[in-house]
Amino acid sequence: MSETAKIIVGNQTHEFPVLTGTEHEKAIDTRELRAQTGYVTYDDGYANTASCESAITFIDGEQGILRYRGYDIQELAIQSNFLETAYLLIYGELPTIPQLQGFRHLVLRNAAIHQGMFNFFEAFPNNSHPMAILSAMLNSLGCYYPEMASNNREQDLEHLDNAATILISKVRTLAAMSYRMKHGLIFIHPKPELPYCSNFLHMMFSEPYAEYKFNPVVDRALNLILLLHADHEQNCSTSTVRMVASGGANLFASASAGVCALWGPAHGGANMAVIHMLEQIHRDGDDGSRFIAAAKSGDRSRRLMGFGHRVYKNYDPRAKILKKTCADVLGTLGVSDPLLDIALKLEEAATHDKYFLARKLYPNVDFYSGIIMRAIGIPVDMFTVMFAIGRLPGWIGHWRELATSHSPIHRPRQIYTGSPRREFVPIDKR
Ligand code: SDX
């Protein structure tokens, strides 16, 4: 006998099926609720609402578990790399050697951009935020590859392999160009022989007279940061990608919308906000205690950035890995950053403070990631761009999952709280 849930509306009892996920998570299937009762559910922020069924990522927020296609993030962090994990997220299985070689070849071959795209950078003001540039440029890829951005679902799916590798590859080139433009530097062309991350660092930091020197520690650290950001089920930006895709929009347009959603300080913008917070604490000569006291005021503008999470009510497993990587990378590079000392002090204080414990607020993925990116020379205003580069495979995987499902266009209902019906009043009578 399959499980059901009963909802009593007035003197009527309505029964609805209960869905059970792979890890035994439960959902009341309310797809017939309005037809049966005339009622809708209300769940501001969707904290209690499953918007879809997905086979890509599993998170257990209470246990601090994160798995991509069934593989624990801790195992992938040690044994895999960003491109292999990107393939896993998009296609559902770890690639064989030929599959990974083919995928890597497409990615490495697709790093250069169409000559016409260089002109966009002539027009952006130099102080443009790289996330604004990135969302514009990802969407404009559809203008250069119209056959992959037809908004004819069957045709766009036929070209998905190419569109995916174009996005994963060119996102680095476009990101590096936004950095070079901002600093008045000439653009550096990609070198296909370099591995994924080092090719990005080459395009960011090489000079005509001094090529960026490959550093295996830095390449590995950046690879890990991107892998840890690669997907996170129905977070704000991924849900946005699915929302846009549900209307039939192509992959480039959907990814561009994901960039816009990620930019906010409550979401992907937090990694920049963490560094600004740590720098402020350092400037104030605060040992963190004053900041912690202010963060407990409930004032949203004084929050401990990089702490708390909509789903994790335990230590974010990605933060644990990044905290260890922080120490390893800074130690190997011989970098001592006072911000790391402050971050460790803040964590020590907050994770023993009843305000944070009572609200189950722990470090999230953004708390340590910025310190590593700073150590490898990535400027703070590029941190959320790095998050977007990492999250692209997840967005692509979710676009593909939705595009191959029979999911209807996403169109939530609402509770109307505006004016009752009223007559129009001509302007001379108001
Ligand atoms: C990401 O969804 C994802 O998966 C996102 C992400 C991904 O990989 O895609 O994991 C990436 O976005 C991580 C989160 C990055 N954001 C930050 O670090 C910003 C700081 N964190 C907070 O703004 C907050 O914790 C959120 C937005 C992350 C989560 O907010 P919730 O779950 O909606 O919590 P809430 O706003 O309802 O707060 C609950 C309580 C409140 O106190 P009370 O009203 O109960 O007294 O906790 C307090 C809040 O004031 N609180 C904090 C706090 N976060 C919540 N207090 C101090 N510092 C904080 N950081």
- What pLDDT is attached to residue 223? 97
Query: Is the Cβ atom of 298 under 6 angstroms away from ligand 1?
Result: yes
Long-range contacts of 204-209 (CB under 8 A, 24+ apart): 204/175, 204/176, 204/179, 204/180, 204/378, 205/377
Distance CA 299, CA 19 (A): 38
Residue of minimum CA distance from atom 27 in ligand 1: 266
Query: Is the Cβ atom of 359 under 6 angstroms away from ligand 1?
Result: yes
Tens place of pLDDT for every residue, the chain, 430 residues?
A: 789 999 999 999 999 999 999 999 999 999 999 999 999 999 999 999 999 999 999 999 999 999 999 999 999 999 999 999 999 999 999 999 999 999 999 998 899 999 999 999 999 999 999 999 999 999 999 999 999 999 999 999 999 999 999 999 999 999 999 999 999 999 999 998 899 999 999 999 999 889 999 999 999 999 999 999 999 999 999 999 999 999 999 999 999 999 999 999 899 989 999 999 999 999 999 888 899 999 998 888 889 999 999 999 999 999 999 999 999 999 999 999 999 999 999 999 999 999 999 999 999 999 999 999 999 999 999 999 999 999 999 999 999 999 999 899 999 999 999 999 999 999 999 9
Between the CA of 426 and the centroid of ligand 1 the distance, in Å, is 47
Active site residues: 309, 366
Burial of residue 423 (number of CB atoms within 10 Å: 0-12, 13-18, 19+): exposed
Nearest alpha-carbon partner for 314 in 73, 77, 66: 66
Nearest alpha-carbon partner for 378 in 176, 162, 127, 140: 176
- What pLDDT is attached to residue 9? 95
Tell me the CA distances in angstroms from 15 to 11, 168, 337, one per residue in order.
13, 45, 58
Query: Is the Cβ atom of 57 under 6 angstroms away from ligand 1?
Result: no
The phi-psi region of residue 273 (left if phi > 0; otherwise alpha if psi is between -120 and 50; otherwise beta) is: alpha
Distance CA 38, CA 273 (A): 44
- What pLDDT is attached to residue 192? 86
Distance CA 88, CA 276 (A): 34
Domain ranges of the chain: 4-68
Residue of minimum CA distance from atom 31 in ligand 1: 310
Q: Name the residue of 361, 365, 389 to mutate for ligand 1: max ligand atoms within 8 A of Cβ.
A: 361
Query: Is the Cβ atom of 308 under 6 angstroms away from ligand 1?
Result: yes
Instruction: Report pTM.
Output: 0.95
Between the CA of 269 and the centroid of ligand 1 the distance, in Å, is 13
Query: Is the Cβ atom of 302 under 6 angstroms away from ligand 1?
Result: no
DSSP label of 69 = T
- What pLDDT is attached to residue 81? 97
- What pLDDT is attached to residue 300? 85
Query: Is the Cβ atom of 309 under 6 angstroms away from ligand 1?
Result: yes
Residue of minimum CA distance from atom 21 in ligand 1: 308
Q: What is the DSSP string of 186-240?
A: PP----TTS-HHHHHHHHHH-BTTBPPPP-HHHHHHHHHHHHHTS--SS-HHHHH
Nearest atom in ligand 1 to 364's CA: 13
Give ∠ CA 262-272-244 in degrees, rounded to 5: 5
Between the CA of 307 and the centroid of ligand 1 the distance, in Å, is 7
Tokens 């991924």 correspond to 238
H-helix or E-strand spanning residue 72? strand 71-72
Distance CA 5, CA 346 (A): 44
Nearest atom in ligand 1 to 308's CA: 25
- What pLDDT is attached to residue 48? 96
Residue of minimum CA distance from atom 41 in ligand 1: 298
Residue of minimum CA distance from atom 45 in ligand 1: 359
Residue of minimum CA distance from atom 20 in ligand 1: 305
Burial of residue 345 (number of CB atoms within 10 Å: 0-12, 13-18, 19+): middle
Query: Is the Cβ atom of 364 under 6 angstroms away from ligand 1?
Result: yes
The pair of structure tokens assigned to 414 is 């609402």
Residue of minimum CA distance from atom 16 in ligand 1: 266
If one looks up domain 4-68 in CATH, what number appears?
A: 2.20.28
- What pLDDT is attached to residue 1? 73
Q: Name the residue of 54, 231, 309 to mutate for ligand 1: max ligand atoms within 8 A of Cβ.
A: 309
